Amino acid sequence: MWSARRNSVVVSDAVIRDRKLGFLMKHEMAVADIVLAFPPQVTTTNIVQAMESQRRIGMLCSDLTMNIRPDIYAREYGEEAVAGRRFLNLGCGGYWDHPCWTGVDLEPANGVTWNFRRMEPLPIQDGAMKLVYTSHLLEHLTDAEVRFLLGDAFRCVEPGAFIRVTLPDFDLGFAAYRAGWRTFFTSVADYAPIDTGQSVGWFFLDMYAGNLPVEDGDLARLFSDMEPEVAMDVLRRRIEETDLADYAGHVNWFNCDRISRFLAEAGFVDVERSAFGQSRALVLRDTSYFDATAPEVSVFVEARKPA
């Protein structure tokens, strides 16, 4: 059932596809940390017991978060929107599933199978969607792909609808890199690569620049010669020159300003920095489904299609 992946443990595909267990992934990841900390002592029985207690903790915690049920969606948006799953999660993840939402991903548990690199319009009618949410996806796409996708998201939502975007915040990561703060990168539960003594520059490049093979000295020189945004665009273009077809890492970088510009370019208005759990759309405040990926290193931005 268990297999090692980077510094965490993943359950088999069969289990991930089980929708009831999908939402437990976060807790399983926490258990994975226990496994790594005490590998000789951990047995399958321990893991199953730990999973069970994590699940119970998760259920208790979810009582503390806003737990938005389908009837609340119906009250806010109408029965038809709920039945038609007219809420769009782009790059939802392979295990994510919500009874009201349409997830789109390379291999969604239940939704639209799609590759955003192809830059084709989604099979969704103009203005059909009530909300768009996208979490930790856009940093996997090039500028052209992001432009296309946000433009298509704009097409898919009805006038007045919100779009909410969250992804790794370059400003936070750059400050951490400048300060030599490795733990910023190694402690991100969802993404941290195994710490085998890599430099802070290596972790920084892994999070924002496709893990390009740039020596620490060259990276430091790049940032001393240019403004950070200009230096990052040099790195971004270098990544785009390589074959990205199967590359699963981060090939792009955003901070609040940069993602806000892309949203405005796509036609969205009222672009505002948001924060964990603080959406202007009530149903997006349900942190058991939204905003929960690496919030400590993320930026949250929201906008809307003009009414």
Give the residues lining the site for ligand SAM (CB under 6 A).
91-94, 105-106, 114-117, 135-137, 140, 293
Scanning 127-255, the segments in alpha helix (DSSP H) are: 143-156, 170-178, 182-186, 200-208, 216-225, 228-240
We find the least distance from the C-beta atom of residue 207 to ligand SAM, in angstroms, to be 11
Q: Within a 10 A sphere around the Cβ of 232, how many other Cβ atoms?
A: 22
We find the least distance from the C-beta atom of residue 227 to ligand SAM, in angstroms, to be 28
Residue among 105 and 152 whose Cβ is closer to ligand SAM: 105
Phi-psi region of 85 (alpha: psi -120 to 50; beta: other; left: phi over 0): left
We find the least distance from the C-beta atom of residue 202 to ligand SAM, in angstroms, to be 19
Cα distance between residue 271 and residue 275, in whole Å: 13
Residue among 94 and 277 whose Cβ is closer to ligand SAM: 94
Q: Which of 25, 32, 37, 26 is nearest to 47 (CA)?
A: 32
We find the least distance from the C-beta atom of residue 139 to ligand SAM, in angstroms, to be 8
Residue among 91 and 173 whose Cβ is closer to ligand SAM: 91
Burial track 36-69 (b if 16+ CB lie within 10 A, e otherwise): eeeeeebeeeebeebbeebbeeeeeeeeeebebe
We find the least distance from the C-beta atom of residue 211 to ligand SAM, in angstroms, to be 15
Residue among 32 and 219 whose Cβ is closer to ligand SAM: 32
Q: Which of 73, 91, 181 is nearest to 136 (CA)?
A: 91
Take residue 142 and report the two structure tokens written for it.
Answer: 């090039």
Strands 157-168 vs 87-90: parallel, antiparallel or unpaired: unpaired
Residue among 135 and 274 whose Cβ is closer to ligand SAM: 135
We find the least distance from the C-beta atom of residue 290 to ligand SAM, in angstroms, to be 9
Determine phi and psi for 138, rounding to 5 degrees: -60, -25
Cα distance between residue 113 and residue 286, in whole Å: 24
Residue among 116 and 203 whose Cβ is closer to ligand SAM: 116
Residue among 29 and 42 whose Cβ is closer to ligand SAM: 29
We find the least distance from the C-beta atom of residue 116 to ligand SAM, in angstroms, to be 4
Helix (H) or strand (E) holding 14: helix 13-17
We find the least distance from the C-beta atom of residue 293 to ligand SAM, in angstroms, to be 3
Residue among 72 and 292 whose Cβ is closer to ligand SAM: 292
Beta bridge partners of 11: 2
Take residue 3 and report the two structure tokens written for it.
Answer: 């297999």
